[in-house]
Amino acid sequence: MLDAKNACLRLPDGEMDYIRFGGGPRTLVMLPGVGDGLKTVRGMALPFTLMYRALAKEFTVYVFSRRRELPEHFSTREMAEDLNTAMELLGLSGAAVLGVSQGGMIAQWLAIDHADKVEKLVLTVTLARPNDTLRDVIARWTALARRGDYRGIMLDTAERSYSEKRLKQTRLEYQLLGSLGRPKSFSRFLTQAESCLSHDAYGELGRIHCPTLVIGGTDDKIVTGVASEEIASQIPGAQLFMYEGLGHGLYEEAPDFLTRVADFCR
């Protein structure tokens, strides 16, 4: 059922790490957020399989990183082109696509520019265009990255993502992670952070015609809950679900998140 696999694709302009697990008849593509700039999914097949095992019976799940070496200036739309190439190499089309945070930005462009790849779309804690909250967050993270302060990035991310109840359980964990997993370079992270500030699919969301579920949190301190409402208002027929009292890390905190996604993609 689990069939966890770590793999790497050779693209025309570089290599892309991805993982695959599950043995279900439906295909689910998952796209992580900007944290992918600090560490790709390389070697993470088993942890992801255990975390998302509830999806393994019904879906064959693929989780794609951005390519390993990113140009200094590389847009979310260009990242979606890389993803489209990767899906073509693997023979994937008509997939359910779940994009979280920056992954949701990339998923928007995939659904706009390559509709054949996306049968259903789930956009979680993401936005269609930058707002002041995101600009402040990215400025903070960029400054920390330029100083090489990995621990600072991890702690700031946790503080902005989780409810106080969750933070009481995870502050020590994130302090430890910030001390152990420092990347050799912050260049990928800086490129991905910059791409969030230039992302603007708002005027083209009307071109998305596949069934779409937008999930947000009312207390999102990174993209805001209003950003989710804005996306849903622009995609024809989109469904919107807002988690009251949860923020950017709702996909880890909400106990029914995976069930909600599976029910929609089923």
The CA-to-CA distance between both ends of the chain, in Å, stands at 17
Q: CA–CA separation, 59 vs 25, rounded Å?
A: 6
Domain that holds residue 26: 5-265
Mean pLDDT, range 17-26, rounded to an integer: 95
Domain at 66, CATH number: 3.40.50.1820
Query: Which residue carries 């390389």 as its tokens?
Result: 42
The answer to whether residues 25 and 119 touch, using CB atoms and an 8 Å cutoff, is: no
Q: Is 56 helix (H, G, I), strand (E, B) or coil?
A: coil
Alpha carbons within 13 angstroms on the beta-carbon side of residue 23 total: 4
The C-alpha angle 230, 208, 52, rounded to 5 degrees, equals 80
With b meaning 16 or more CB within 10 Å and e meaning fewer, what string describes 7-24? eebebeeeebbbbbbbeb
The strand pair at 14-21 and 5-11 is best described as antiparallel
Q: What is the pLDDT of residues 144-202, one digit of tens each?
A: 999 999 989 988 999 999 998 888 777 777 666 666 678 889 999 999 999 999 999 99
Distance CA 54, CA 94 (A): 21
List, for residues 80-115, the tens digit of each pLDDT value.
999 999 999 999 999 999 999 999 999 999 999 999
Q: Please tell me which residue, 166 or 207, carries the higher pLDDT value.
A: 207
Rg (CA), the chain: 17
Q: What is the pTM of this model?
A: 0.95
Over residues 212-244, the pLDDT tens digits come to 999 999 999 999 999 999 999 999 999 999 999
Supply the pLDDT for residue 207: 98
Give the total number of structural domains in the chain. Answer: 1
Q: Is 61 left (phi over 0), alpha (psi -120 to 50) or beta?
A: beta
Q: Is residue 1 over pLDDT 70?
A: no
Q: State the CB neighbour count (10 A cutoff) for residue 72.
A: 8
